[in-house]
Structure 1
Amino acid sequence: MTLFRQIYALLFVLFLLTITSLAYVQFTETQSFLTKQMESDLNNASHSLGLMLVPALEASDPAATETMVNVLFEGGYYQQIKLTWLVDGKQQVWNNAIRVKDVPQWFIDLDIFTPISKENIITSGWLQLAKLEITAHPGFGYHELWRIISNIIIVFAILFLVAIVFARVGLSMILKPLHHLQEHAKKIANRQFGPDMPTPKTTELKELVQAFNSMSAQLKQVFNSLDEEVSALRKKNLVDQVSDLPNRQYIVSRINGWLNEPSSGALFLVKMDWLEEVHSQYGYQVRDETIKLLAQKLQHNLDEVSPSVIARIAAYEFAFLIEDNEHEQLTKYLQCLIRTINKEISKAGCKPNEQFNIGIAERLGQMTVSDILAQADNALQKSIQEHKVFHWYENSHQQLYTRDEWRNNLSKAISQNRFQFRWQPIQLNSNNEVCQREIYCQLQIGENLLHAGQFMPFIEILSLGTSLDRSLIETLNDHKIFDRNFEPVAINLTNQSISDREFHRWIKQFLRGHKSPERICFEIPEASVYSDLASCEHLCEIIRDCGAHFGIDHFGRQFGSMTYLQNLRPSYVKLDQSFAYIEESQHNSELCRALVNVAKGLDIQVIVTGIQQTEQLNRFTDLRLDAHQGFIAPPVDLKL
């Protein structure tokens, strides 16, 4: 029971006790007063009637006696009058039933008033004539008592209703700061630090609110400090100080993560010798300023064509990682890159299309980091040798299908639910027990069974993400996959589904109709959070309200603030695979530790991914991570 209801019930009981006490006192006092009044009337009536009957009794006139008694009997509240003649013992009796107008019979049957009788001897001098016995009728008492009680009940009922209304309004106003305090405490428990609460006038609540505001401000400062620490460590370890672009260490780890995921795209290596000429003519300060301006122009112009990762990997060498793009889009990206470089070359006073070279290696099939770096470097050297602006590395690998064939085949496979599944356990670090399982899907296209790395790039390119996710979830549900184990099942959502409000409505309806939504997890890539935070917040709110769970995949990959964690409040985050592949060093450990502290400070479970061997997992022991995932526990086939 809430504090409001407790106080409200207490006031209600106290008010009832007060009213009951007052009613009881009023009832007893009224009853006593009416009893005394009836006794007084009875004495007066007995005395008066005795004096009136003397002449008739002396004359032995029964008719006159009866007439006088009838006059008194009919004009007053008398139940019985009994007259006994002492001369011959004759009795005359007059009776009146207890019937009172406008008073309910059940009230009369309570016998509140006991019968009152008065006996009197009528004399004439020393001679005793008759004995008169009068019993009072309680009708007067019942009538007056019922009238008074009815009025009291009406007055008390009105007072009670007024008091209840005033008590409710008054308590609501008095306890309003306490309600705000409760909501604020819930937000703090969920690591949501909003604006300070207004200070109430009540002294006790005022001090309590001030204490909560102070605590909230301190916790917010702690989180901001952790967020700033992450940004500082990223800038120190993964950012080139001159260009403010990612450095070689970051791009290598990013390429490694990219090649371990289903994707497409290419790696560009660019060597800009014209910057050496700027250095020789104007000095290193002008050169550094030129590099910084060049980096800004590259980021601004190239992002309009396609999102990419631009890194400075050497004094005059840059790397460009373009993900989830096919050859046609890569060609547009290359053209924009050449135009941007030529504009900056012209501003520096050098000749366009000279003193810079581009080597391009497109991702085709299964590749390693060393493979694609070697191909891109070979293409760059070929461009330098042949004095060409750019050179594409020639790859003999052939695509399975054309773009139109991919569209037809994928649409058909999705509509017919030609899925095959594998799932990989995610194990707790404390005891190696499985805490959840991540689903990987394969599609049967013709005679080929394609894994996600082969078809997912075209799912994104052809905007089939929403269709794939809906069909995949429905297939898993139809085959009771969510009910096979107690551990939750994790499903990766595509970028298209995350931004599609129609998919949001569908998933809401699906989860509300599911009997075990707590066994379903949805994973959202961190890149989607930064690109469309509003859609992510809307989708995550639906998932959380329906009882399911969600997590952030590739946590720590993007450069940006971690404050989105406060808004989304995921159940878990998965550290980007790059943290498992980068060389162990003090700087990398500090950055990883800072990211983990940010998540754990918000009570979010942290899972490290990309773990291949036990020795690799041991590197994260000191960070006290919650769970791990990787080919240390490989995926297994899931039979439908």
Structure 2
Amino acid sequence: MTLFRQIYSLLFGLFLLVVASLGYVQFTETQSFLTKQMESDLNNTSNSLGIMLIPDLEAGDIVGAETLINVIFEGGYYQQVKLTWLVDGKQQVWENPINIQGVPQWFIDLDFFETIKKQSTITSGWIQLAQLEITAHPGFGYHELWRTMTNAVIVFSVLFLIAIVCARVGLTWILRPLHEIAEHAKDIAQRKFGPDMKIPNTMELKSVVLAFNSMSDQLKQIFNSLDEEVGELRKKNLIDQVSGLPNRQYMMGRLSSWLNEPKSGALVMAKFDWLEEVHSKYGYEVRDETIKLLSEKMKEHLDVITTSVIARISAYEFAFLISSAEREQTSKYLQTLIRTINQEMSKAGCKPNENFSIGIAERIGQMSVSDILAQTDNALQKAIKEDKIFHWFETNEKQLFTREQWREHLSNAINNRQFKFKWQPVHLNDGDSITQRELYCQLEIGDKTVHAGQFMPYVELLSLGALLDKCLIETLSTQKLLERNDEPIAINLTFHSLSDPKFHEWLNGFLRASSLSERICFDIPEAGVYSDPDSCEALCTIIRDNGAHFGIDHFGRQFGSMSYLQTLRPSYVKLDQSFAYYDESEHSSELCRALINVARGLDIQVIVTGIEEKKQLERFVPLKTSAYMGYIHPPVEVKEI
């Protein structure tokens, strides 16, 4: 029971006790008063009637005596009058039935008034004339007692209701700071650090509120310091200090992640020998400033074309990872890059289209990091050897289908539910138990099995992401995947679904209709959170309100604040695969530990991804992560039933 209800019940009981006591006192006092009043009235009547009857009794006038008694008796205040003539023993009796109007019979049956009688002897001098016995009628007493108690109950009831309402309003106002403290405590327990509470006037609560505000500020500062630590470690370990771009270590990690994801695109490597000319002419300070300006211009112009990662991998070499693009878009990216380089060369006093070379290799099929690096370096070396500005690495492998063919195949597959499924277990660190299974899909076109890495780039490119996600989520019901295991099933949401209001509405209806929504998890890419935070927050609210769960995929990949964790409140985060491929240096471990501490500080489960062997997993054990996944436990085919 809440404190409010306890105090409210106490006040209710005390007030009820007071009212009952007052009612009892009022009742007994009224009953006593009415009894005394009836006795007094009976005495007066007996005395006065006895005096008035003396002349008639002396004269033996029976009619006169009856007349006097009838006048008094017809008033209705007496139940019985008995007159006994002592001369001849004659007895006359007058009686009124006990019939009380306006008083319920159950009240009369309680017998609050005893029978009151008054017997007296009428004398004339020393001669006894008659005996007079008068019995009071209880009707007056019951009627007055009922009226008095009814009015008292009405008054007490009105006062009781007023008091209860006032007590409720007053307690609500008095205990409002305490309620705010309770809500604030819940928020702090969930690592939600909102604005400080207002200081109440109540002295006892004032000190508590001040203590809570202080504690909340300290916890907020701890989280902010962890967030700042992550930023500083990223700058220290993954950022080139001269250009402000990611360094070689970050690029290698991103390459590994990119090649393990269903993506398309290309890797570009450029060597800028003209920067050595700037160095020889103007010194290293001008060269470094030129590199910085060049980096800023490349980011400014190239980010408009498509999403990419630009990194400085050595003194005069830069790498450009185009994470999702077709050849036409890559060509446009390349032209913009060349134009930007020439503009900066002209500003530095160098001749355009000289002393720089570019090599490009597209991602086709299944490739490893060494494969694409070798192809890109081969293209770069050929461009240098042939004194060309750029060179594309030529491969005999061709794309499976054209864009329109992909559109047709993917639309048919989505509409006809032609996908095959696998799921990969996510194991807890402390044993072989599974915390969730991540769902993957593949497609059979003719006699070919097409993996997600081949068709997912076209799903995003053709804006079919929301339709595909609907298809996969509906499959949970049609194939009863949720009933097969006790573990939740995780589904990766596409970027298109994150910002599609119609998908949000559809998902809300689906989850409401599902009886096993608590077993569904949704993986939201961290890049989507940064690109459209409002839509992601709306989607996460829908998922949470319907009892499902969600997590952040590729956690730690983006350069930015981790404050979104406090806003979204995910159940888990999946550490980006690049952290599994970083070297085992102290700096890398510090960055990884700081990222994990940010999540664990908000009571969020941390899942390590990209684990291929136990040696990799052992690196994360001291960091106190929760679970892991990767090809150490490869995906398993989901059999149809």
> Structure 1 CA distance, aligned partners of 2:575 and 2:159?
65
- Structure 1 residue 63 and structure 2 residue 63: aligned? yes
> What TM-score, normalized to structure 1?
0.99
Tell me the SS of whatever aligns to 2:74: helix
- In structure 1, the residue matched to 2:185 is 185
Counterpart residue type for residue 160 of structure 2: F
> Structure 2 CA distance, aligned partners of 1:136 and 1:332?
117
1:76, distance to aligned residue in structure 2 (A):
4.9
Q: 8 Å contact 2:524–2:552 — kept in the other structure?
A: yes
Counterpart residue type for residue 386 of structure 1: E
- In structure 2, the residue matched to 1:301 is 301
> Structure 2 CA distance, aligned partners of 1:303 and 1:192?
34
Structure 1 residues 130-185: Cα deviation after superposition (integer angstroms, max 9, x where no partner) = 11110001122122222222221222122122212211211111111112112211
Q: 8 Å contact 2:267–2:362 — kept in the other structure?
A: yes
1:416, distance to aligned residue in structure 2 (A):
0.2
Tell me the SS of whatever aligns to 1:620: helix
1:355, distance to aligned residue in structure 2 (A):
1.4
- In structure 2, the residue matched to 1:613 is 613
- In structure 2, the residue matched to 1:162 is 162
- In structure 1, the residue matched to 2:95 is 95
- In structure 1, the residue matched to 2:517 is 517
Tell me the SS of whatever aligns to 2:318: strand
- Structure 1 residue 269 and structure 2 residue 265: aligned? no
Counterpart residue type for residue 470 of structure 1: K
Instruction: Give 1:358-507 correspondences, 5 Å limit.
Output: 358-507=358-507
Q: 8 Å contact 2:76–2:96 — kept in the other structure?
A: no
- In structure 1, the residue matched to 2:563 is 563
- In structure 2, the residue matched to 1:545 is 545
- In structure 1, the residue matched to 2:213 is 213
Counterpart residue type for residue 631 of structure 1: Y
Counterpart residue type for residue 104 of structure 1: P
Structure 1 residues 552-576: Cα deviation after superposition (integer angstroms, max 9, x where no partner) = 1111111111111111111111111
Counterpart residue type for residue 18 of structure 2: T
> Structure 1 CA distance, aligned partners of 2:175 and 2:327?
65
1:108, distance to aligned residue in structure 2 (A):
2.3
Structure 1 residues 87-142: Cα deviation after superposition (integer angstroms, max 9, x where no partner) = 22211110111223333333223221111000101111111111111000112212
- In structure 2, the residue matched to 1:288 is 288
Structure 1 residues 323-367: Cα deviation after superposition (integer angstroms, max 9, x where no partner) = 111111111111111111111111111111111111001000111
Q: 8 Å contact 1:233–1:590 — kept in the other structure?
A: yes
- Structure 1 residue 198 and structure 2 residue 201: aligned? no
Counterpart residue type for residue 546 of structure 1: N
- In structure 1, the residue matched to 2:150 is 150
Counterpart residue type for residue 456 of structure 1: M
- In structure 2, the residue matched to 1:230 is 230
> Structure 2 CA distance, aligned partners of 1:447 and 1:366?
19
Task: Kindly report the root-mean-square deviation, in angstroms, between the aligned alpha carbons of the 2 structures.
Answer: 1.1
> Structure 2 CA distance, aligned partners of 1:84 and 1:327?
134
- In structure 1, the residue matched to 2:132 is 132
1:384, distance to aligned residue in structure 2 (A):
1.2
Structure 1 residues 442-477: Cα deviation after superposition (integer angstroms, max 9, x where no partner) = 112222221111111111111100000001111221
- In structure 1, the residue matched to 2:245 is 245
Structure 1 residues 375-402: Cα deviation after superposition (integer angstroms, max 9, x where no partner) = 1111111111222111110011111111
Instruction: Give 1:320-339 correspondences, 5 Å limit.
Output: 320-339=320-339
> Structure 1 CA distance, aligned partners of 2:601 and 2:453?
35
- In structure 1, the residue matched to 2:171 is 171
Tell me the SS of whatever aligns to 2:171: helix
Counterpart residue type for residue 87 of structure 1: V
> Structure 1 CA distance, aligned partners of 2:224 and 2:599?
12
Tell me the SS of whatever aligns to 1:314: coil
Counterpart residue type for residue 423 of structure 1: W
> Structure 1 CA distance, aligned partners of 2:339 and 2:7?
75
> Structure 2 CA distance, aligned partners of 1:615 and 1:277?
46
Counterpart residue type for residue 520 of structure 1: I
1:75, distance to aligned residue in structure 2 (A):
2.5
Q: 8 Å contact 1:410–1:445 — kept in the other structure?
A: no
Q: Which region of structure 1 is more displaced relative to structure 2, 559-568 or 68-77?
A: 68-77
> Structure 2 CA distance, aligned partners of 1:517 and 1:10?
43
Tell me the SS of whatever aligns to 1:151: helix
> Structure 1 CA distance, aligned partners of 2:72 and 2:564?
96
Q: 8 Å contact 1:606–1:625 — kept in the other structure?
A: yes
1:533, distance to aligned residue in structure 2 (A):
1.0
- In structure 2, the residue matched to 1:598 is 598
Equivalent pairs counted in the alignment come to 640
Tell me the SS of whatever aligns to 1:197: coil
Q: Which region of structure 1 is more displaced relative to structure 2, 51-60 or 314-323?
A: 51-60
> Structure 2 CA distance, aligned partners of 1:75 and 1:425?
99
Q: Which region of structure 1 is more displaced relative to structure 2, 31-40 or 182-191?
A: 182-191
> Structure 2 CA distance, aligned partners of 1:333 and 1:184?
51
- In structure 2, the residue matched to 1:343 is 343
> Structure 1 CA distance, aligned partners of 2:71 and 2:589?
115
Tell me the SS of whatever aligns to 1:134: strand
Matched-pair identity in %? 69
> Structure 2 CA distance, aligned partners of 1:88 and 1:57?
12
Q: 8 Å contact 2:307–2:324 — kept in the other structure?
A: no
> Structure 1 CA distance, aligned partners of 2:106 and 2:240?
97
> Structure 1 CA distance, aligned partners of 2:429 and 2:394?
45
> Structure 2 CA distance, aligned partners of 1:237 and 1:128?
130
> Structure 1 CA distance, aligned partners of 2:183 and 2:346?
60
Q: 8 Å contact 1:119–1:133 — kept in the other structure?
A: yes
- In structure 2, the residue matched to 1:48 is 48
1:2, distance to aligned residue in structure 2 (A):
2.2
Q: 8 Å contact 1:310–1:320 — kept in the other structure?
A: yes
> Structure 2 CA distance, aligned partners of 1:447 and 1:343?
51
- In structure 2, the residue matched to 1:106 is 106
